[in-house]
Structure 1
């Protein structure tokens, strides 16, 4: 029987870490109705809580890339998991009756976001060191698929915990899972393939043959000027803002939309709330394979940039149709399909970031992800305002408009022109 390459076993561990990331992100959304009732806050104020996490996440993404460059993905991810698991517990410990309880809750979620910000730059640094360029679409698809699988199991799992043990138990359970995965990652992972005793000579040679020329253990000073002046990095980041805006509606407000906007009860919302994330998991994994296939046969521009733009366009169209559907079940199904469509292109953002950044993939992916998280923070607060004032259909139409606008930056990105390429 053929031995499974170590790099694919380790990417499955990151799949688990990505699951934890999104379970810990989803828990406030699933428990949102109960939190709002206990803290006596409105939907708009609950949106501030959601936005606090997104802003914390965005704030620390670029510093996270620098940290993982210094410490490596093994130590960074382990420490980050322990840190944000502790903050997850702290979320449940905020007393609703204390003075300024809402602002304390916002602060806790902001700090938790700082910790979770280390996850994806660390994962991308791992992919940049462990995977040849031709395999990075698939590797990132597994990582992003893990995040969506975590979001997919959250509605049923967390609703079960809430109904049987109360909303506080959701945060305790999430923290225990995070600590267990941290221990497993520390035991299994190494920063570089050459450091792992289970990597065969053939696998090591295959990895090294497929790495960009500058992917080596020598690390010159971080070329901040080249990173921040790269139009390809900025183009990828601005395109990712469209992804982040639309995707965040599903991770923050979709469960509440099912209950309050479409009139489903808690149990029905738990079942229907899984649908977008089943779609995003499948499309994320499938999209990574399609992107690699296209990149190998039609070139990186078609396989990464054009495919990413197509994903944004398709999602925008479906969001408009689903947001205006008259039947609640039809609306839920169409919007789930719209979520899947946007995740077809999820892996290409990080594949391009890894190729552009080389040994600084963590920093470049942090910059790309930061734009998506800032857009997501806007979504989290703007969506309840739009839904309350104009209706949920308007909120989804605005999201579609953002995806259409963010197609434009993709058209000007050259995914093969790394940060060290000569400027013309």
Structure 2
């Protein structure tokens, strides 16, 4: 099931990167329709990246409190809905606010993915999972430029943004139905106790201390902590000095 989880995480990464890059191709058309300058569009992108960066830590707190699955579903639905509503902006302020809020919502994707991977995959498999996510990031960015370029013309840029919201919401519904809660699956597999994850085990019982043997003459043999040498006590009840001898 962990590879099913990984497949869903890679899919939502591609979807998120297609959505977040959706304004790059039609930027000139957006400037013309909304009477914006290139500096205005730069500020719109600044709003997105600021929200995305600043809310990484709060998003991590949400993922910790709710769990990676519920948090990621909520983030995906929110950023997809905001992607669709960006096309309704009528000016610079509306576009900057809506696009910035979309960046805030997308800040949760990788903190949730990291938590899910850590809870589900063994330590020897986590690098592979991270590599798959990185591959999906690059693939999604490349697909966004190509797909948006193909759609622009047959569709207006607001229609493209509305269409891009559909995969995100559909993904959230499928993820909710198909994939079990990663933290619960990790606990059942023993990842929290270190089985198969490289986590340190709880210390076991200490070494067994051998019981001193009593020879036939009644004296006691005392084990020495300094090596193989042993000492014979001079008398059974005596606490005096012991004569050291080799075993």
TM score, norm. by length of structure 2: 0.75
Q: Residue 21 of structure 1 corresponds to which residue in structure 2?
A: 16
Larger Rg: 2
Correspondence 1:139 to 2:139:
no
Distance (whole Å) between structure 1 residues aligned to residue 30 and residue 56 of structure 2: 28
Q: Residue 242 of structure 2 corresponds to which residue in structure 1?
A: none
Preserved CA contact (<8 Å) 2:82 2:101: yes
Q: RCO higher in 1 or 2 (8 Å CA, sep ≥ 6)?
A: 1
Q: Residue 59 of structure 2 corresponds to which residue in structure 1?
A: 64
Distance (whole Å) between structure 2 residues aligned to residue 172 and residue 161 of structure 1: 12
Output aligned runs, 1:143-292, within 5 Å. Answer: 143-192=133-182, 194-195=184-185, 204=189, 208-213=195-200
Unaligned runs of 5+ in 1: 1-5, 96-100, 215-424
CA displacement at 1:103 relative to structure 2: 1.5
User: Residues 70-111 of structure 1: CA distance to partner in whole angstroms, max 9, x if unpaired?
Assistant: 11111011111111111111110112xxxxx20221111111
Preserved CA contact (<8 Å) 1:19 1:149: yes
Superposed CA RMSD: 2.1
Instruction: For residue 208 of structure 1, give the secondary structure of its aligned residue in structure 2.
Output: coil
Q: Which has the higher helix share?
A: 1
Output aligned runs, 1:69-108, within 5 Å. Answer: 69-95=64-90, 101-108=91-98
Preserved CA contact (<8 Å) 1:30 1:155: yes
Output aligned runs, 1:239-388, within 5 Å. Answer: none
Instruction: For residue 154 of structure 2, give the secondary structure of its aligned residue in structure 1.
Output: helix
CA displacement at 1:188 relative to structure 2: 2.1
Distance (whole Å) between structure 2 residues aligned to residue 185 and residue 175 of structure 1: 16
Distance (whole Å) between structure 2 residues aligned to residue 38 and residue 75 of structure 1: 38
- Aligned residue-pair number: 199
Unaligned runs of 5+ in 2: 202-247
Correspondence 1:11 to 2:14:
no
User: Residues 191-245 of structure 1: CA distance to partner in whole angstroms, max 9, x if unpaired?
Assistant: 336548xx9x8xx36883215349xxxxxxxxxxxxxxxxxxxxxxxxxxxxxxx
Distance (whole Å) between structure 2 residues aligned to residue 146 and residue 188 of structure 1: 20
Q: Residue 226 of structure 2 corresponds to which residue in structure 1?
A: none
User: Residues 381-423 of structure 1: CA distance to partner in whole angstroms, max 9, x if unpaired?
Assistant: xxxxxxxxxxxxxxxxxxxxxxxxxxxxxxxxxxxxxxxxxxx
CA displacement at 1:190 relative to structure 2: 2.5
Preserved CA contact (<8 Å) 1:28 1:50: no
Preserved CA contact (<8 Å) 2:11 2:136: yes
Q: Residue 47 of structure 2 corresponds to which residue in structure 1?
A: 52
User: Residues 167-193 of structure 1: CA distance to partner in whole angstroms, max 9, x if unpaired?
Assistant: 111101110111011111111223336
TM score, norm. by length of structure 1: 0.45
Preserved CA contact (<8 Å) 2:116 2:183: no
Distance (whole Å) between structure 2 residues aligned to residue 160 and residue 25 of structure 1: 17
Q: Residue 121 of structure 1 corresponds to which residue in structure 2?
A: 111
Distance (whole Å) between structure 2 residues aligned to residue 91 and residue 112 of structure 1: 9
